[in-house]
Amino acid sequence: MGQGVFVAGLGAITAIGNNVPECYCSLEQSKAGIGDIQFLDTVHKGEIPVGEVKMDNQELGVIAGISGEFSRTILLSLIAAKEALADSEIDTSGSLRVGLVSANTVGGIDKTEDFFKDFLKDPAKGRLRKVFDHECGCITEMVADQLGIRRFMTTISTACSSSANSIAYGARLIRNNLLDVVISGGADTLTRYTLNGFNSLMILDHGLCRPFDDDRQGLNLGEGSAFLVLVSESVAKNLIHKPYCELKGYYNSNDAFHQTASSPEGTGPFLAMKGSLAGSGFLPQEMDYINLHGTGTPNNDAAEGRAILKLFGPNYPPGSSTKAYTGHTLGACGAIEAVFSILALKYSIVFPNLRFKTPMNGIPFLPVKELRKNIPVNNVMTNSFGFGGNCTSLIFSRY
């Protein structure tokens, strides 16, 4: 499968922290970031809880080092990507072949919504410069420009598996000797478009989400960004600090069952997990933790539960959904949860599945209910499953 791929740097900003250390602190303290809407301009304020990053655009702009007038997706992306690159301590200005693989699903829709709010009142109003970064690829271009990356950049948008696929694609670029360093990850921001869309599907919980609970009512939307700095084996040997871990396996599948629902049998999730295990060379019993996709919707959790039953039963590894902390961050969730999974490796810890009380009917697999510390965590799997049946699993292993 080519040379090894290692993780040299991490960056994240979510509802539970403005950087990786803050996110870890919240995870360790079982502190969720889901609550009333503060920053999104919507009629659903006070009605639908979300996992918002706890800063407005002007405050984000200060951290990102650019104007707060840019799309919130750009601001979040740049904050996480800069943190990851600084964490890696890699000089990208030299001879290394460096690329960026960025993922998102909303692009700059937040700024487009602001434009139309004024435009619909008066066609002579509304500033067109607000919509120049509307499409998803513009986010990547802006981040690449700010980071000084010129050799390679591309955008992936495969719904909720987007940033997991960006990590897998970055690994493929390295393994095929096309690049030495790839900054892979993604971002998504809360918008009226996504909030209204998911609300129309009737899959939002108007309380706090309860992944894998038999009484679950739906998901809480969130926003955020995360990036990983992936490096080749030769680069890993010359890092200032040793890599966090190795990316041992990845696999993308598609069950093509439905536009917005998983197959009841969990075919897509099963194939993704099985394929990532095959690529890594591990057996199911060698997984020490699974960061579950676990959105909290009746369909998703049942499908993932059945896939786990089929692949891992009856000896299930510890598993939990960290979306109970951050909300479902859509195109960003794969990278955010990859960072959380790597933190589980680094600190030998398994995070609890918040608010879980009642086991799902017919599925014996139970998520972890309490924080587990100082336990062997050598191999972790993280799942990200998207609309259209696009399912991806990644496996990270202790270095």
Q: pLDDT tens-digit profile of 60-69?
A: 999 999 998 8
By residue range, what is the domain housing residue 340? 245-398
Lowest-pLDDT range of 26-30, 53-57, 81-85, 116-120? 116-120
Catalytic residue from among 160, 209, 245, 391:
160
Mark whether 181 and 158 lie in a shared domain. Answer: yes
328 is catalytic: yes
Residues 222 and 277 in one domain: no
| pLDDT at residue 261 tops 90 | no
Dist CA 2 CA 279 (whole Å): 11
User: Which one, of 262, 259, 272, 257, lies nearest residue 301 by Cα?
Assistant: 262
323 near 230, Cβ under 8 Å?
Answer: no
Note whether 390 and 337 are within 8 A (CB).
no
Length of the chain: 399
| For residues 35-50, average pLDDT | 96
Q: Domain check: are 221 and 266 in the same one?
A: no
Q: What are phi and psi of 112, to 5 degrees?
A: -65, -40
Cβ partners under 8 Å of residue 8, min gap 6: 87, 88, 90, 181, 229, 230, 231, 235, 236, 239, 243, 244
Catalytic residue among 138, 209, 328, 391: 328
Q: What is the mean pLDDT of residues 334-346?
A: 98
**Residue at which a domain ends, from 236, 255, 276:** 236
Query: What is the pLDDT of the chain when averaged over all its residues?
Result: 95
The answer to whether 247 and 7 have CB atoms below 8 angstroms apart is: yes
Residues 288, 141 share a domain: no
Q: What is the pLDDT of residue 165?
A: 98
Position with higher pLDDT, 114 vs 333:
333
Q: Is residue 84 part of a domain?
A: yes
Looking at the fold, whether 34 and 145 belong to one and the same domain comes out as yes
Instruction: Indicate if 264 and 147 belong to the same structural domain.
Output: no
Tally of helices (H runs) and strands (E runs) in the chain: 12, 12
Shared domain check, 122 and 56: yes
Report, as an integer, the average pLDDT of 173-195.
Answer: 97
Instruction: Tell me whether residue 258 is one of the annotated catalytic residues.
Output: no
Domain assignment present for 2: no
Nearest partner of 329 among 171, 191, 145, 131, judged by Cα? 191
Domain termination residue (choose one: 236, 265, 291): 236
Give mean pLDDT, residues 160-185. 98
Predicted local distance difference test score (pLDDT) of residue 2: 60
202 and 251 within one domain: no
* Residue percentage of the chain with pLDDT more than 70: 99
The answer to whether position 385 is within a domain reads yes
Among 230, 242, 251, which residue's Cα sits nearest to residue 383? 251
What average pLDDT does this structure show over 339-343?
98
Residue 27: inside a domain, yes or no?
yes
Determine the average pLDDT of the residues in 189-199: 96
Sheet holding 98-103, edge to edge: 152-156, 98-103, 181-188, 224-232, 5-13, 245-254, 390-398, 379-385, 289-291, 319-320
> Does residue 1 sit within a domain?
no
Q: How many domains does the chain have?
A: 2
- Of 138, 293, 333, 391, the active-site residue reads 293
Q: Are residues 122 and 223 in the same domain?
A: yes
CATH code of the domain covering residue 124 = 3.40.47.10
The predicted structure's pLDDT at residue 68: 86
For the cut 50, the answer to whether the pLDDT of residue 368 exceeds it is yes
Q: Is residue 294 part of a domain?
A: yes
Dihedral angle, C-alpha 223, 151, 96, 166, nearest 10 °? 30
Q: Are residues 308 and 253 in the same domain?
A: yes
The CA distance from 129 to 149, in Å, is 24
Tokens 């990278």 sit on residue: 335
Is residue 124 situated within a structural domain? yes
What pLDDT score does 115 carry? Answer: 87
The pLDDT assigned to 1 comes to 43
Task: Outline where the chain has alpha helix (H).
Answer: 20-28, 57-64, 72-88, 109-121, 136-147, 162-175, 192-200, 233-236, 267-280, 298-312, 323-326, 333-347
Give CA separation, 195 vs 189, 206, 281, 330, in Å: 10, 12, 40, 11
Domain boundary residue among 236, 264, 293? 236
Q: Say how far apart CA 103 and CA 226 lie, in whole Å.
A: 10
Whole-number Å distance between alpha carbons of 121 and 175: 53
Q: How far is Cα 215 from Cα 357, in angstroms, rounded to an integer?
A: 9
Percentage of residues in the chain with pLDDT exceeding 90? 89
What pLDDT was estimated at residue 94? Answer: 86
Residues 253 and 231 reside in one and the same domain: no
Q: Residues 232, 251: one domain? A: no
pTM reported for the whole predicted model: 0.96
Q: Is 134 in the active site?
A: no
Q: What are the tokens at 366?
A: 């139970």
Compute the Cα dihedral for 83, 88, 91, 96 and give only its sign: negative
Q: Does a structural domain hold residue 138?
A: yes
